[in-house]
Amino acid sequence: MKCPRSINPALFIINLRYAGVLLQDINTLLKMSKIIKFAENIMETGLSVPLTDNLINLQREVGIPPRSVSEDALRDVKRIFEKSEALEYMKKVSRNV
Protein backbone atom coordinates (compact mmCIF):
# COMPACT_ATOMS: atom_id res chain seq x y z
CA MET A 1 0.00 0.00 0.00
CA LYS A 2 1.14 3.52 -0.71
CA CYS A 3 1.00 6.19 1.93
CA PRO A 4 -1.85 8.42 0.76
CA ARG A 5 -1.51 12.16 0.42
CA SER A 6 -3.84 14.83 1.68
CA ILE A 7 -5.50 17.13 -0.85
CA ASN A 8 -3.27 20.09 -0.14
CA PRO A 9 0.04 19.18 -1.80
CA ALA A 10 1.95 21.51 0.50
CA LEU A 11 0.92 19.44 3.48
CA PHE A 12 1.53 15.88 2.44
CA ILE A 13 1.53 13.18 5.05
CA ILE A 14 5.19 12.90 5.87
CA ASN A 15 7.10 9.66 5.63
CA LEU A 16 9.22 9.33 8.73
CA ARG A 17 12.00 7.50 6.96
CA TYR A 18 12.25 10.31 4.41
CA ALA A 19 12.02 12.88 7.18
CA GLY A 20 14.93 11.17 8.90
CA VAL A 21 17.18 12.04 5.99
CA LEU A 22 16.10 15.66 5.90
CA LEU A 23 15.73 16.51 9.54
CA GLN A 24 18.72 15.81 11.70
CA ASP A 25 18.48 18.24 14.59
CA ILE A 26 17.80 17.04 18.11
CA ASN A 27 14.54 18.96 18.43
CA THR A 28 13.14 17.15 15.45
CA LEU A 29 14.19 13.83 16.90
CA LEU A 30 12.42 14.69 20.14
CA LYS A 31 9.28 15.66 18.21
CA MET A 32 9.46 12.38 16.29
CA SER A 33 9.65 10.42 19.53
CA LYS A 34 6.45 12.14 20.64
CA ILE A 35 4.80 11.03 17.43
CA ILE A 36 5.92 7.43 17.87
CA LYS A 37 4.33 7.64 21.31
CA PHE A 38 0.89 7.57 19.66
CA ALA A 39 1.54 4.06 18.34
CA GLU A 40 2.93 2.97 21.70
CA ASN A 41 -0.20 4.31 23.40
CA ILE A 42 -2.41 2.17 21.16
CA MET A 43 -0.31 -0.89 21.92
CA GLU A 44 -0.50 -0.31 25.66
CA THR A 45 -4.00 1.12 26.16
CA GLY A 46 -5.94 0.41 22.98
CA LEU A 47 -6.27 4.17 22.35
CA SER A 48 -3.90 6.64 20.71
CA VAL A 49 -4.57 9.17 23.49
CA PRO A 50 -4.92 7.46 26.88
CA LEU A 51 -8.04 8.07 28.96
CA THR A 52 -7.85 10.50 31.87
CA ASP A 53 -9.76 10.43 35.16
CA ASN A 54 -11.12 13.90 34.33
CA LEU A 55 -12.71 12.64 31.14
CA ILE A 56 -14.19 9.55 32.77
CA ASN A 57 -15.58 11.64 35.66
CA LEU A 58 -17.06 14.17 33.24
CA GLN A 59 -18.77 11.45 31.20
CA ARG A 60 -20.16 9.95 34.39
CA GLU A 61 -21.34 13.40 35.54
CA VAL A 62 -23.23 14.23 32.34
CA GLY A 63 -24.73 10.76 32.20
CA ILE A 64 -23.11 9.03 29.25
CA PRO A 65 -21.40 5.64 29.69
CA PRO A 66 -17.83 6.41 30.84
CA ARG A 67 -15.24 5.41 28.29
CA SER A 68 -13.12 2.32 28.96
CA VAL A 69 -11.34 -0.38 26.99
CA SER A 70 -12.10 -4.01 27.82
CA GLU A 71 -9.51 -6.67 28.64
CA ASP A 72 -10.56 -8.59 25.51
CA ALA A 73 -9.93 -5.53 23.35
CA LEU A 74 -6.48 -5.00 24.89
CA ARG A 75 -5.60 -8.65 24.30
CA ASP A 76 -6.63 -8.32 20.63
CA VAL A 77 -4.61 -5.13 20.15
CA LYS A 78 -1.49 -6.77 21.59
CA ARG A 79 -2.02 -9.71 19.22
CA ILE A 80 -2.34 -7.32 16.25
CA PHE A 81 0.91 -5.55 17.12
CA GLU A 82 2.74 -8.84 17.63
CA LYS A 83 1.44 -10.64 14.55
CA SER A 84 2.08 -7.69 12.24
CA GLU A 85 5.63 -7.36 13.57
CA ALA A 86 4.94 -3.74 14.43
CA LEU A 87 7.55 -3.56 17.17
CA GLU A 88 10.35 -4.40 14.75
CA TYR A 89 8.99 -1.78 12.34
CA MET A 90 8.83 0.88 15.03
CA LYS A 91 12.40 0.12 16.09
CA LYS A 92 13.52 0.57 12.48
CA VAL A 93 11.64 3.87 12.19
CA SER A 94 13.19 5.08 15.45
CA ARG A 95 16.66 4.16 14.20
CA ASN A 96 16.12 6.00 10.92
CA VAL A 97 15.03 9.22 12.56
Partner 1 sequence: MSNDRDFSIIRETVPFFLFRPCVQAHPGIEVATYFVLKFLDIPFLMSDDQTCCGFPTFFWNMSPPEVMVSLCARNMLLAKSLACKAVLVVCNACYTAFNHALRELSNNEDLARRIAEIIGRTPDDVNDLDVDIFHVPEMFYAFKDEILRRMRFSLEGLRVAVHYGCHYRRELMFRKFDDHKNPRFVDELLSDLGAEVVDYSEKNLCCGGSGIQSRVHYELSENICIRKLESIHRVGADMIVVWCPACMYRLDICQRDLYKSGKIDFQIPVLHLSQLIGLVLGLNPRTQLCLHLHAISTQPLLEKIKEIWVKI
CA dihedral 16, 20, 5, 86 (to 10 degrees): -20
DSSP state of 3: P
Tell me the per-residue interface mask from 41 to 70 with partner 1, x by CB under 8 A, - otherwise: -x---xxxx-xx--x--xx-xxxxx-xxxx
DSSP for 26-53, written as a single string = HHHHHHHHHHHHHHHHHHHHSSSS---H
Q: Is 29 in the site for partner 1 (CB under 8 A)?
A: no
- Alpha carbon distance 62, 27 (integer Å): 41
Cβ 75 to partner 1 shortest distance, Å: 10
Binding site for partner 1 (CB under 8 A): 1, 3-4, 6-8, 11, 13-17, 19, 23, 28, 31-32, 34-36, 38-39, 42, 46-49, 51-52, 55, 58-59, 61-65, 67-70, 72-73, 76-77, 79-81, 83-86, 89-90, 93
